[in-house]
Structure 1
Amino acid sequence: MAKARIRVALIDDHPIFRSGVRGLLGETAGIEVVGEASDGRHALDLVGRTLPDVVVMDITMTGMSGLAVARALRQAGSAVYIVFLTVNEDLAFVDEALTAGAQGYVLKRSAGASLLEAIEAVVSGGRYIDNEMRSPPSLPGRTEAGPPVPHAGEEGGLTVREREVLRLIALGMTMKEVSLAISISVASVDTYKIRGCKKLGLRSRASIVRYALGQGWLETESKRHPSDRPSSVM
């Protein structure tokens, strides 16, 4: 009997980052993204309509925080697994997340290497806390695709054009769409893709997405405000 697919709902108010995560999950056998929402209030409706197994969600969102969504789901009796995917590296947020009913906590900068592990862990009945939140950084490891897990700012000698082509591919664009977006031929897109992948040791679209997530290419930068501290999050 075939193993059931893990149904995932994705909640994040940064559309570019959300697109990258959707691409990563969409390239993964056994996982299906059943819906997306850009804020907490729509998240509750989405979960009610799609009945996912796992909610992957940011903490800091407009209108209603991820912590408030988690509490509301638990109060409503939902048994959905919750994995927070966030830039918040304060340990206080981990405690808040678990108290609110989450089973997983992953940093956005390590999503490419850790998110799939987190989803599998919580569905299996465990908890998953990003390794960066549990212990000092370790020596670079290796992703499923083989190359070292990237650190922000280390771009393997990529040219500006190679970087842009890989970033757009990570967003889910086809070769033709990349060609139109940056006004070069499809053949040139293919050349830049091949060169960039060779420099980085990447061998699939999924590995390109993982690298892009690790580099922060898909994340809209935002400054945290004092109100984002755990004590004042809804």
Structure 2
Amino acid sequence: MGTAKTRIRVALIDDHPIFRSGVRGLLGETAGIEVVGEASDGRHALDLVHRTRPDVVVMDITMTGLSGLAVARALREAGSAAHIIFLTVNEDLAFVDEALSAGAQGYVLKRSAGTSLLEAIEAVVSGGRYIDAEMRAPPAPASRTEAGPPVPQPGEEGGLTAREREVLRLIALGLTMKEVSLAISISVASVDTYKIRGCKKLGLRSRASIVRYALGQGWLETENKRLSSDRPPSLV
């Protein structure tokens, strides 16, 4: 996806820091893509895009302050050339129409970000549109990740033990091996063992594939909900 001379510059906007970290990890592992900045709400998003002038804005719809739809409209009114992709949990088809009307070129569900977001970025940069397959038709049963195994469905965890799951989840959140060992009070060697076992069970071969799996399982979304359970969501 691109060369060193044609890197796709992406701004990431989401008010869930854990989820944002996971997406940043996914994009950071992808050749030809550079995350040029992040914002946690709609108002800071406008300043971020103005300062960094990204090629693509990956943004949630429902955020504190200005909604993603309001940000998209404001960017269009300001003449921004950035391509907008909404990365959202909203599965109502009405939101797709609203998103496109607001000026977006892409619509990706958070639960399929690991397999769809990169495709969406490539599509909109090429001048097209991208609507998540889940919003267009039932998913193909034989869909596969770049590592080979079938794309996981929520709740299907490949026989992972609780400890293997926790290690892989923390790695997906961006923690180093040492940080994982400190977080769950086990040795670095044990962390490595659980990582190897978990990856072998799931057929994962890189940190990017671990992040994709975590996104597909909703592990990062679950953490976001725990951290923000006392915070009422903004209205669109």
Report the TM-score when normalising by structure 1: 0.94
* Residue identity matched to 1:158: L
* Alpha-carbon distance between aligned partners in 2 of 1:45 and 1:195, rounded to the nearest angstrom: 44
Partner of 1:177: 179
* Residue identity matched to 1:176: K
* Alpha-carbon distance between aligned partners in 1 of 2:208 and 2:178, rounded to the nearest angstrom: 19
* Residue identity matched to 1:210: R
Give the Å deviation of 1:30: 0.3
Partner of 1:144: 146
2:38 is the counterpart of 1:36? yes
2:146 is the counterpart of 1:158? no
* Alpha-carbon distance between aligned partners in 2 of 1:147 and 1:99, rounded to the nearest angstrom: 37
Change (3 A) 1:227 1:39: closer
- Please show how residues 4-153 of structure 1 align to structure 2 within 5 Å: 4-153=6-155
Change (3 A) 1:14 1:196: same
* Alpha-carbon distance between aligned partners in 1 of 2:142 and 2:155, rounded to the nearest angstrom: 14
* Residue identity matched to 1:45: D
* Residue identity matched to 2:214: A
* Residue identity matched to 1:153: G
* Alpha-carbon distance between aligned partners in 2 of 1:118 and 1:45, rounded to the nearest angstrom: 24
* Alpha-carbon distance between aligned partners in 2 of 1:34 and 1:3, rounded to the nearest angstrom: 15
Q: Which runs of 4+ in 1 moved over 3 A?
A: 225-228
Which has the larger displacement, 100-109 or 134-143? 134-143
* Residue identity matched to 1:107: L
* Residue identity matched to 1:218: L
* Alpha-carbon distance between aligned partners in 1 of 2:147 and 2:116, rounded to the nearest angstrom: 13
* Alpha-carbon distance between aligned partners in 1 of 2:101 and 2:128, rounded to the nearest angstrom: 15
* Alpha-carbon distance between aligned partners in 2 of 1:189 and 1:226, rounded to the nearest angstrom: 36
Judge conservation of contact 2:62–2:234 (CA < 8 Å) in 1: no
Give the Å deviation of 1:138: 2.4
* Residue identity matched to 2:168: L
* Alpha-carbon distance between aligned partners in 2 of 1:140 and 1:45, rounded to the nearest angstrom: 42
* Alpha-carbon distance between aligned partners in 2 of 1:216 and 1:112, rounded to the nearest angstrom: 10
Judge conservation of contact 2:38–2:48 (CA < 8 Å) in 1: yes
Unaligned runs of 5+ in 2: none
Unaligned runs of 5+ in 1: none
When the two structures are aligned, how many residues end up with a matched partner? 229
Which has the larger displacement, 16-25 or 144-153? 144-153
* Residue identity matched to 1:44: L
* Alpha-carbon distance between aligned partners in 2 of 1:171 and 1:32, rounded to the nearest angstrom: 18
Give the Å deviation of 1:227: 7.5
Give the Å deviation of 1:202: 0.2
Change (3 A) 1:83 1:125: same
Judge conservation of contact 2:167–2:194 (CA < 8 Å) in 1: yes
Q: Percent identity?
A: 89
Give the Å deviation of 1:117: 0.2
Give the Å deviation of 1:140: 3.7
- RMSD across aligned positions (CA): 1.7
Give the Å deviation of 1:144: 1.3
Deviations 1:54-98 (A, max 9, x none): 000000001110000000000000010000000000000000000
Give the Å deviation of 1:226: 10
2:20 aligns to what SS in structure 1?
helix
* Alpha-carbon distance between aligned partners in 2 of 1:149 and 1:67, rounded to the nearest angstrom: 30
